[in-house]
Amino acid sequence: MNPFKKLTEGWKRLMHDEALKKKIYIIIFESDTPLGKLFDVALMLFIVLSILVVVAESIQSWTDTMGPYLRGLEYLFTFFFTAEYLLRIYCSPEPRRYVLSFFGIIDLLATLPFYITWLFGPARYLLIVRTFRLIRVFRVFKLFNFLNEGNLLLSSLYISSRKIAVFFLFVLTLVISIGTLMYMIEGQRPGTAFNNIPNSIYWAIVTLTTVGYGDITPETPFGRFLSAIVMLMGYTIIAVPTGIVSASMIQSSRRKESADQPQPADSGTPQPEQTDHPAPSLHDRAWTVLESEYLIRRPWLTARRDKVQLPTGAVIPEYYVLEYPDWVNVIAITTDGRFVMVRQYRHGLGETRYELCAGVCEAGEAPLLSAQRELYEETGYGGGNWQPWMTLSANASTMNNHTHCFLATGVSPISTQHLEESEDLTVHLLTADEVKCLLDTDEVRQSLMAAPLWKYFADRPY
């Protein structure tokens, strides 16, 4: 066989090897498995070392003696980061989405400057952009809670942005005015550094910000008097933006604390007057269906259009309802107290998230049996003690089904996964603290799964 043809066929097999892609994806993109965490820690170490090499290359005395070794290390790091970037593209379910994502762009920029140096030498120092890749440490070491504090700071800066902009324009006007005044005072002296307005404005900025390089200093009595006034103004002005942001942070923090506190039973809202007549039941306010028509009937989507009349007499000529079978999900906890979670891609949102094991009630199948079957098929876990946990509706206004949630404690692995062709998910065992962290950071996006988990943690000291 033609060697080129062999190579082409081997390349095609490699590019379509879904099992290999899945294994690489779990190692590179996940940090919940031993290999995944080991890879991410090694990646962080390589990033730090490569940054230190770039810094060391900028020290001329070191470059003369250690230049070849530093360049050799840079070749090694660049090879590693290039291979890592290509592997991320290879195993990503949506390569284009990854390439255009924040981390995808940072990963590319962390590698690209080295190749640009072949055309433009100093570009190698742009490799310092690898510092941004250290943001991954939040995912690797479960530091999601710090992101909440970061969001508080960003929101405070956003709220204060207009005030800060006005303050900046005020300071800009002030330094231009002071610089011009100092030029008028000192600019006529021979040999003075205040020989033009830009230099004088530079002096005003340095003095007002209390940096005081001392490379330009006034020599006339009036010029020194103006310098003293500007220095005192600097100490006063610096406190202004700090106070603006601090006040916004305090307000944001208070709003968050108020939102987290339970509201008292008597909130001051006028309550309806008590009467001798009992409150109408839900059935009393039921709508009357005047006409009904199915628009589509598919295995995963059934939609109908109703013409309904309200108890008030009003008529809605077109009201759309989505019909689904009942759903189930399971809070499954192992004998050693870890939560059995799955992670899968949801095409509606275009996101990959942590979820509870969940599925559809088959026709004629009791919800409990459906939940036990789904846990066994998706994760291979079973056994334990089962109890109904809560029943929910995804959207009571337009969907006619319920979700039955169960709590299963003491489950254990009894088999491997038995996934259908359309299913692609991974199993993860998480501690209670990790699951609570996912809830706190909105990583559990499915409301039908977040609600039973929040109920579970409501009376537990985690």
CATH code of the domain in which 378 resides: 3.90.79.10
Residue 253 confidence (pLDDT): 57
Q: Report how far residue 410's alpha carbon sits from residue 332's, in angstroms, rounded to the nearest whole number.
A: 8
Residue 278 confidence (pLDDT): 46
Residue 53 confidence (pLDDT): 78
List, in order, residues 6 or more apart from 339 with CB less than 8 Å away.
Answer: 331, 332, 333, 429, 430, 431, 432, 434, 435
Specify if 341 maps to a domain: yes
Specify if 72 maps to a domain: yes
240: domain CATH number is: 1.10.287.70
Specify if 267 maps to a domain: no
Asked if 314 and 287 count as a contact pair (C-beta separation under 8 A), the reply is no
Asked if 448 and 52 count as a contact pair (C-beta separation under 8 A), the reply is no
Assess whether 126 and 233 both reside in one domain: no
Assess whether 304 and 356 both reside in one domain: no
Residue 142 confidence (pLDDT): 46
Assess whether 232 and 341 both reside in one domain: no
Specify if 273 maps to a domain: no
* Dihedral, 228, 233, 235, 241 alpha carbons, nearest 10: -160
Assess whether 302 and 362 both reside in one domain: no
Indicate the residue type of 147. Answer: L
Residue 32 confidence (pLDDT): 61
Residue 247 confidence (pLDDT): 62
Q: For residue 386, give both structure tokens.
A: 């089962």
Domain residue limits at 308: 285-323
Assess whether 234 and 293 both reside in one domain: no
Q: Report how far residue 373's alpha carbon sits from residue 375's, in angstroms, rounded to the nearest whole number.
A: 6
Q: For residue 238, give both structure tokens.
A: 């610096």
Taking CA 137 as the corner, what is the angle to CA 132 and CA 140, rounded to the nearest 5 degrees? Answer: 140
Q: How many domains does the chain have?
A: 4
Assess whether 244 and 308 both reside in one domain: no
Assess whether 58 and 121 both reside in one domain: yes
Specify if 2 maps to a domain: no
Asked if 192 and 186 count as a contact pair (C-beta separation under 8 A), the reply is yes
Last residue of a domain, one of 304, 323, 342: 323
Assess whether 448 and 344 both reside in one domain: yes
Assess whether 243 and 225 both reside in one domain: yes
Angle between helices 221-260 and 144-186 (to 10 degrees): 160
Residue 263 confidence (pLDDT): 46
Specify if 300 maps to a domain: yes
Residue 338 confidence (pLDDT): 94
Last residue of a domain, one of 303, 323, 343: 323
Residue 254 confidence (pLDDT): 57
Assess whether 333 and 419 both reside in one domain: yes
Residue 152 confidence (pLDDT): 60
Q: For residue 443, give both structure tokens.
A: 């990583």
68: domain CATH number is: 1.20.120.350
Assess whether 341 and 454 both reside in one domain: yes
| Burial class for 291, CB neighbours closer than 10 Å (0-12, 13-18, 19+) | exposed
Residue 259 confidence (pLDDT): 47
Indicate the residue type of 447. Answer: S
Asked if 207 and 186 count as a contact pair (C-beta separation under 8 A), the reply is no
- Per-residue pLDDT of the chain in tens (462 residues, 90 and over written 9): 567 777 777 777 878 788 888 888 888 876 667 787 788 788 888 878 877 877 777 777 777 778 788 878 888 888 888 888 888 888 887 888 888 887 788 778 777 766 766 665 555 555 556 566 555 554 444 444 455 555 566 666 666 677 778 778 888 888 898 889 988 888 888 888 888 888 889 888 888 887 777 778 888 888 888 888 888 888 777 766 666 656 655 665 555 555 444 444 444 444 444 444 444 444 467 888 899 898 988 877 899 999 999 988 889 999 999 999 999 999 999 999 999 999 999 888 888 999 999 999 988 788 999 999 999 999 999 999 999 999 999 899 999 999 999 999 999 998 888 888 888 899 999 999 899 989 988 889 899 999 999 999 987 755
Q: For residue 446, give both structure tokens.
A: 């499915």
For the residues of 275-305, what is the DSSP string, one character each? -SSPPPPTGGGPPEEEEEEEEEEETTEEEEE
Specify if 243 maps to a domain: yes
Last residue of a domain, one of 254, 271, 302: 254
Q: Report how far residue 203's alpha carbon sits from residue 179's, in angstroms, rounded to the nearest whole number.
A: 7
Specify if 278 maps to a domain: no
Residue 149 confidence (pLDDT): 57
Beta bridge partners of 331: 407
Assess whether 135 and 82 both reside in one domain: yes
